[in-house]
Structure 1
Amino acid sequence: MAMAESSGGGGGGGSFVAVRRISQSINRTNTCQSTTSAKAVAGSAAWLGKGLSCVCAQQTDSDARPSFDLTPAQEECLLRLQSRIDLPYDSSNPKHQEALRSLWYAAFPGEVLFGLISEQWKEMGWQGKDPSTDFRGGGFISLENLLYFAGNFPKSFQHLLRKQEGDRALWEYPFAVAGVNITFMLIQMLDLEAVKPRTLVGATFLKYLAENESAFDLLYCITFKLMDHQWLAMHASYMDFNTVMKATRRQIEKELLSEEISKLEDLPSYSLLTQ
């Protein structure tokens, strides 16, 4: 896997880390042929923060928003989800370390990981050699979301990781950091840190959560796949990520509020996961 660094042009003077993607036909083992494609996955130190502030912090007057009453079942499920959201990634926690290793082997079966701090992590689209520094925006739940995606929709997970679908830009969004952005965006969109939801979309989501405790993880997978679909439809490149995320958020909100939806599997965007 070839690595290259170049000075980042424009805004902030940070460095961009380019990771040349292994072509989709390759068998990722120690004996595989190392043919590469010319397309790249890009990341920058400022990218995550920019994405979060632009996409998620859209409402400031929280006091003006109404609240929605919850059923006991919804309240219990929300509290359990909030306990997951409140848990930071702890690089000294053996369970967290093992989860991170599991993500590596889910992404790259048969490829030995040389350490939890390693240049290898850039292959997945982390900003540096220590993924734990990128979990600040999403906490441990953002790692759980990626693991759920890899375990339940492995084909879609691999397609997004390796950028296998569609006519793509030379500079692509970094897969793993995009995943953390999506976790954070959904938490904000659904107002999940409030005692009671203060938006209709948040209240609607809690109905699905009460019926399926994995609803947040499932919605994460749907949203990630939709984001990539929007990316391709908009012929987006690296600097268009915020625009794509905003379009994705609007579409997910629209689908969640549709009267024709009775479960998350009914969302039109769910079909993208099963293609």
Structure 2
Amino acid sequence: MDDRGGSFVAVRRISQGLERGNTCHSTSAEVVAGSAAWLGRGLSCVCAQRRESDARPSFDLTPAQEDCLQRLQNRIDIAYDSSIPEHQNALRALWNAAFPEEVLRGLISEQWKEMGWQGKDPSTDFRGGGFISLENLLFFARSFPKSFQDLLRKQEGDRSVWEYPFAVAGVNITFMLIQMLDLEAVKPRTMVGATFLKFLSGIASLPVILFESFSELMDHQWLAMRASYMDFNTVMKATRRQLERELLLEDITRLEDLPSYSLLARNPKKKRRI
């Protein structure tokens, strides 16, 4: 059981009085406490859970893969620290990418709820994903700004009254990917984790395309299931299974070949290598 997070959930309410099935383009947000856990204990129960079919022997790594995996693990181990200038600057950069026309009043501000953080201090939401979850959100915003804005503002499809909070969901996605890919193990213990390593050579951070693809795929699943916030864990599980299947397809030789990447391709922009 992971103790890095809290035991409550924030949900993003797009607007009041809407019937399910109506499209909403509002960017206003109200963050409230709910009954399901999104981070820490609650999320680890969803993301770290293994099925019996996942159990496989460990796989041998090449020296290059060992080096890349170690560097990635070092990044995963970095907690968000609000006293570090690099972390402060990354958080400000994320705000500027999300709301370029709105001046941020401070790193602790009610404004952060507009992005889908649980409260006025985003640093309290990084416990489940660490600094790398902030990096992933920032790289997403810079690499695919149109897709990022669509998900942030819930501009695609018929939305529910109670939506998932975008920023907190991003932290959850990072944490889920770490668990799904078995990135904290000395050697991968699942076929999915071993398959991922062929995409890892020369990349010391979690490949942003995987994070972006999962974000788009999750939102696609969310709409297809006509989900509301109480369905979040169900949507996450379904998305994980879909992404696992995609990674194991025989004709996948690079992350851009993933079927879910086509959801991003509709808003093309040259990706940044990290």
TM tier relative to shorter chain: 0.7 to 0.9
- Residue aligning to 1:129: 120
Alignment deviations for residues 94-116 of structure 1 (CA, whole Å, 9 cap, x no partner): 11001100000000002100000
1:79 aligns with 2:55: no
1:44 aligns with 2:33: yes
Pair 20,233 (structure 1): closer, same or farther in 2 beyond 3 Å: closer
- Residue aligning to 1:24: none
Distance 1:265 1:190 in 2: 17
Pair 67,36 (structure 1): closer, same or farther in 2 beyond 3 Å: closer
- Residue aligning to 2:19: none
Q: RMSD value over aligned CA atoms?
A: 2.5
Alignment deviations for residues 210-265 of structure 1 (CA, whole Å, 9 cap, x no partner): 16555522201110110001001111111000000000000000000000111000
Structure in which a larger fraction of residues adopt strand: 1
8 Å CA contact 2:129–2:171 kept in 1: the answer is yes
- Residue aligning to 2:245: 254
TM-score w.r.t. the length of structure 1 is 0.83
Q: What percent identity do the matched residue pairs reach?
A: 73
Taking the TM superposition and a 5 Å limit, the aligned residue runs for 1:81-160 are 81-160=72-151
8 Å CA contact 1:42–1:238 kept in 2: the answer is no
- Residue aligning to 1:69: 60
1:57 aligns with 2:48: yes
Larger RCO, structures 1/2 (Cα 8 Å, 6+ apart) = 2
Which consecutive unaligned segments of at least 5 residues does structure 2 have? Answer: 1-6, 16-23, 267-274
TM-score w.r.t. the length of structure 2 is 0.84
Alignment deviations for residues 23-71 of structure 1 (CA, whole Å, 9 cap, x no partner): xxxxxxxxxxxx974986655376323651342121399xx75210011
Moved over 4 A (4+): 14-21, 38-43, 211-215
Give the one of 196, 201, 206 matched to 1:205. 196
Distance apart, 1:17 and its partner CA: 6.3
Q: Which amino acid aligns with 2:44?
A: S
Worse overlay, 162-171 or 69-78: 69-78
For the residue of structure 1 that corresponds to 2:127, the secondary structure is helix
Distance 1:85 1:273 in 2: 25
Taking the TM superposition and a 5 Å limit, the aligned residue runs for 1:172-191 are 172-191=163-182
